[in-house]
Structure 1
Amino acid sequence: MRLHRSFRLAALAALLISYTVCVRAAAIEFDAATISDLNRAFEANTLTSEQLVQQCLARIEAYDDNGPKLNAVITLNPKALEIARALDAERKSKGPRSPLHGIPVLLKDNYDTFDMPTTGGSVMLENWVPPDDAYVVKKLRDAGAIVLGKLNLSEFASGAAHSSLGGQTLNPHDPTRTPSGSSGGTGAAIAAAYAPLGLGTDTGGSIRGPATANGIVGLKPTHGLMSRDGIIPLSLTFDTGGPMARSVYDIAVSLGVMTGVDPADPATQKSKGKAATDYTQFLKADALKGARIGIARDFLGADADVDWVIESALESMRKAGATVVDVRYPKWLLDSKQEFYSAIRNPEFAAQIGDYLAATGAGYPKNLEQLIASSTGVRSLRADGAGPNPIRWTLFKKEAEAGKLDDYRYLSVRDHALPMVRMVVEGLLAAEKLDAIVYPTSPRRPALIAQAQPQPDTASATNIANLTGFPDLIVPAGFTTDDLPVGISFFGPAFSEPKLLALGYSFEQATHVRRLPVHTPALPDQAVTMP
């Protein structure tokens, strides 16, 4: 009898142990795993970097090369698996370099990489390999991140989500819709879980438009927080790089790795004493409690579905303890912001692209005039899909005619209008005692590709962040009735990234609306096993 009872007790104990192991070894969907989750799996030996890279490559093969053929990737790093294996060995022998050790990263193809071409999406820079990495790319590699590949973009970071080298990028939520530009390849790739982390660039909304259109998180940092050295310029007064990911945590953990004063980029001097190396410390789920949030109602009213999602988001903030107040921008700013933007952006590209092109090798254009001349020789599609990009190339001529950097039209805006805009926004934030201003990142749902407008949407507020140089964090807010994502922007004063990340994280944790696009579903056996 005692033996029988002992057997039953032993069986019960084994069952409890088995149950405990099953509970502890929970699985997280591949697209939902944060970089923190991946590091826990690395530490528990349930995942290696090599396996993670293999899973990312499998998704690229399934959805970029096949399936919906999103056309987000221009170049893959042929040594990615070799690098991952080396980093796995290093982890075992020395431990991780940083939270990004062994994490795959995808780069918009206007970031210099010493081991892969940097083309800006243009057939005119095809196969151009820079001599070294962009500053932030080197920082990522030094932290142990793996550059998995380079992504499609609006050519030279302007125009529709199309390039002469990479063609049209598709939106994984609806391939007939634009992924927005100019970081459309990064937006689509990160939404489709090609990698946990991507980098975009933003001059007038080019991180934030693709973040909202593809239903992911994106940050346009304060101008000067991240170095632009080694990034093909569009307009250095406005240009900044920034991270794009599927969670606010991943934005925070990657941002800290990339900050730093760079002697090659004078703008980074502004960040001295104001940058952090660990932004995850600011992430608090209750950050909305007691916060004072302004809703910029000037940017509602263009799409009833978008408006409904934003109103729902505001209600979630109120329930989390925030006070929400209406704010309005001065009419003169709303009427003038696009003119101010164009007065800087167009002449600066004409001047600054030549400085970048001067370093390219023999046979490549060396200035805007040579780009224009080269473009006239491309008249039809090649077998690989590369071909003319008339919308962007027509813009070349407008840029060439925009005047010089000593022109009164340029100087008056740079020296007087931009400081005036900064003062107005700072005054609005202070007068209303706001922690942030929120607004629909795009006032309308993603347009059909056949109808997408390559020019900036004047109804959007995104370029106010560029005119001021202030940071803007985008977080998924919901979906329209036709299942298209809507993002909400958290906009604040210079170097307020800690506050914006805290608020965005709090909102994300209260709502959890991001999801894997229907056209890029989970692949078999890709869940991440957690300890």
Structure 2
Amino acid sequence: MKQKLTWWQIAKQGLTYLFMLGLSTFPSEAVAETFRLREATIAEINQAFEKNALTSEQLVQLYLNRIEAYDDQGPKINGLISINNNALKEARELDQERQQKGPRSPLHGIPIILKDNYDTTDLPTTGGSVLLEGSLPPDDAFTVKKLREAGAIILGKANMSEFAESYGRLGYSSLGGLTRNPYKLTRDPSGSSGGSGAVIAANFAVLATGSDTSGSIRGPAAVAGLVGIKPTQGLVSRDGIIPLTLSFDSAGPMARTVTDAAIALGVMAGVDPNDYRTLESVGKTYKDYTQFLNKKALKGARIGVAIDFRGGNPEVDAATDAAVAKLRELGATVESVDFSPKLENLWPFMEEVTEAEFEPQIDSYLKNLQLPFPDTLREMYSMSLSNPLVNSEQALNPGRVGGFGESLKHPELADTEYLYIIHFEFPRVRQEILSIMSAQNLDAIIWPTMTCPAGPLYNIEDPTYQCASNDPYIPGYLANVSGFPGISVAMGFTEQGLPLGLTFFGKPYSEPTLLGFAYAYEQATQFRRPPTTTPALPGENFDY
């Protein structure tokens, strides 16, 4: 009987072969590899680990150097809200474990950033709010436990729109301040996972987590030239993540490449008894989503392109047209998809549901915290309106405070309009999408992740910004209302150098198919490039 090899044994055999081949091919004074921290992938880092050219401790220090140089100083991206002061110690311990036992997974010793609504027992979880400043939850979020078990190092927490809603101030929170887009410092990083997108684009870590209620993973990924996965609702647990609207909330990874995002998804996915939606994913998850990555995945595929989301910005429309041409070049059949008017703007339904669910769900979360933190939304609302806070430099976004008030006015989950939307309107949305895909025999549908590029920061006027759309996030709402998966991948740049994103959207649990399509498109276009505001620092590049 043949012995089944682990991924690490296979990788070691391959690396040994390549190393021997290198010795026989290169002259003795030649260098086989050059490590570059900026844009380094999980595979490249693991190769450097294996060759003893890099340790996790050294890697963490290199990223901390970048954070000090570019997040706190220089361009002041301001994407992080807290740093793990034990990261170097944890890295040393994982280095020792690697030497003694080998790595736990591809994420062993890899620094990652968590959005600041993921519970961690050793770092405050605040949702970006001064109202929860210093709050240490009693337990790690389910996904955080899985990431730690895989050997990932939590390097810090990312800034976010306060309690995951931007209300016109994308990238702003009362605790973290305003995060800038590293590609153009006067533009926003989108939201609500704006900090997560900015820090990975600026190469402060390898991966980040986000949460997505109305495009909040995919939008920040698009404006930062990243890959963002909003998975099928139920594929990844939301337990231990500060809720906004559980009918829509999803958790997922953000990365610089499809491969790295697929690795992270394999770690994060899984059934959690504390999140009832994950019970639907039994038998539908994979530990390794990289097995579905294929450069030829688009050959013979049938792709629909949504025609309802054009006209927001001419450069976005042109990039979408170019994407369609590239998909056809790669062997896909692409045809138009025309949604009904109801599906073209689902925000009125989403707003009603959010106002109904936020109070009972945030109250349930707050009751797990210890004093002196508020234990109800009503208490948070009262604190938000207090004179000392309103007149301070850490005042909450007035729109966010107004949102608290609207939720408190709402009759909550017994409201007939809310129940009608949940039980009748949303099933109709899912059915219409599935009917269209079935009638046209589609494997996926594409659209621009956002109908306009990143906009100006809320406190800056920019006459060069062009956006004819009332809501650039409209396309993304389909994935949240339906619960179906959407993956955003880099689609190019505007003339001002602002990244754009393309979304691949599909049926429930079609992540393997969508990842294959996204990977094939990514490999054929190679649009990802780092921002010029955060160049390499001394010592980041070395030969081995």
TM-score (norm 1): 0.93
Paired position in structure 2 for 1:420: 428
Paired position in structure 1 for 2:419: 411
Paired position in structure 1 for 2:494: 480
Residues 18-71 of structure 1: CA deviation (Å, up to 9, x unaligned): 944676622243232211111111111111111111111111111111011111
Alignment of 1:203-218 (within 5 A): 203-218=213-228
In the alignment, structure 1 residue 371 sits paired with structure 2 residue 380: yes
- Structure 2 gaps of 5+ residues are 1-22, 461-466
Paired position in structure 2 for 1:77: 84
How far apart, in 2, do the equivalents of 1:443 and 1:528 lie? 40
How far apart, in 2, do the equivalents of 1:506 and 1:98 lie? 25
Paired position in structure 2 for 1:311: 321
Q: Using the TM superposition, give the Cα deviation of residue 305 of structure 1 relative to its aligned residue in structure 2, in angstroms.
A: 0.7
Alignment of 1:476-515 (within 5 A): 476-515=490-529
Q: Using the TM superposition, give the Cα deviation of residue 519 of structure 1 relative to its aligned residue in structure 2, in angstroms.
A: 1.1
Alignment of 1:277-356 (within 5 A): 277-335=287-345, 337-356=346-365
Alignment of 1:128-143 (within 5 A): 128-143=135-150
How far apart, in 2, do the equivalents of 1:284 and 1:504 lie? 9
How far apart, in 2, do the equivalents of 1:396 and 1:42 lie? 48
How far apart, in 2, do the equivalents of 1:126 and 1:21 lie? 56
- Which of 388, 391, 407 matches 1:380? 391
Paired position in structure 1 for 2:119: 112
Paired position in structure 1 for 2:189: 179
SS of equivalent to 1:405:
helix
Residues 443-462 of structure 1: CA deviation (Å, up to 9, x unaligned): 00111013799x99266210
How far apart, in 2, do the equivalents of 1:212 and 1:310 lie? 13
How far apart, in 1, do the equivalents of 2:128 and 2:473 lie? 27
Q: Is the 8 A contact 2:26 2:32 kept in 1?
A: no
In the alignment, structure 1 residue 59 sits paired with structure 2 residue 70: no
How far apart, in 1, do the equivalents of 2:30 and 2:423 lie? 61
SS of equivalent to 1:476:
strand
Q: Using the TM superposition, give the Cα deviation of residue 381 of structure 1 relative to its aligned residue in structure 2, in angstroms.
A: 3.5
Q: Using the TM superposition, give the Cα deviation of residue 333 of structure 1 relative to its aligned residue in structure 2, in angstroms.
A: 2.2
Residues 180-210 of structure 1: CA deviation (Å, up to 9, x unaligned): 0000000000000110100000001000110
Paired position in structure 1 for 2:397: 389
- Structure 1 gaps of 5+ residues are 1-15
- Matched AA of 2:310: L
Q: Using the TM superposition, give the Cα deviation of residue 174 of structure 1 relative to its aligned residue in structure 2, in angstroms.
A: 0.5
- Matched AA of 2:99: K
How far apart, in 2, do the equivalents of 1:226 and 1:284 lie? 23
Q: Is the 8 A contact 1:188 1:214 kept in 2?
A: yes
Paired position in structure 2 for 1:520: 534
Paired position in structure 2 for 1:42: 49
Between Structure 1 and Structure 2, how many residues are aligned? 511
More deviation in 19-28 or 516-525?
19-28
In the alignment, structure 1 residue 468 sits paired with structure 2 residue 476: no
SS of equivalent to 2:47:
helix
Q: Using the TM superposition, give the Cα deviation of residue 290 of structure 1 relative to its aligned residue in structure 2, in angstroms.
A: 1.1
Q: Using the TM superposition, give the Cα deviation of residue 380 of structure 1 relative to its aligned residue in structure 2, in angstroms.
A: 3.0
How far apart, in 1, do the equivalents of 2:39 and 2:27 lie? 23
- Matched AA of 1:187: G
Residues 399-438 of structure 1: CA deviation (Å, up to 9, x unaligned): 2223210110110000111111000111111111111101
How far apart, in 2, do the equivalents of 1:402 and 1:296 lie? 34
How far apart, in 1, do the equivalents of 2:298 and 2:38 lie? 26
- Which of 239, 242, 250 matches 1:232? 242
In the alignment, structure 1 residue 431 sits paired with structure 2 residue 445: no
Paired position in structure 2 for 1:220: 230
How far apart, in 2, do the equivalents of 1:379 and 1:469 lie? 37
Q: Is the 8 A contact 2:234 2:278 kept in 1?
A: yes
Could you tell me the percent identity over the aligned residues? 50
Structure 1 residues 458, 488: closer, same or farther in 2, change over 3 A?
Answer: closer
Residues 159-184 of structure 1: CA deviation (Å, up to 9, x unaligned): 13210100111000001001000000
How far apart, in 1, do the equivalents of 2:365 and 2:296 lie? 45
How far apart, in 2, do the equivalents of 1:280 and 1:293 lie? 21
- Matched AA of 2:364: D
- Matched AA of 1:486: L
How far apart, in 1, do the equivalents of 2:434 and 2:428 lie? 10
Q: Is the 8 A contact 1:104 1:197 kept in 2?
A: yes
Q: Using the TM superposition, give the Cα deviation of residue 292 of structure 1 relative to its aligned residue in structure 2, in angstroms.
A: 1.1
Q: Is the 8 A contact 1:187 1:210 kept in 2?
A: yes
SS of equivalent to 1:201:
strand
How far apart, in 1, do the equivalents of 2:175 and 2:513 lie? 39
In the alignment, structure 1 residue 361 sits paired with structure 2 residue 370: yes
Q: Is the 8 A contact 1:256 1:278 kept in 2?
A: yes
Structure 1 residues 194, 18: closer, same or farther in 2, change over 3 A?
Answer: same
Q: Using the TM superposition, give the Cα deviation of residue 388 of structure 1 relative to its aligned residue in structure 2, in angstroms.
A: 3.3
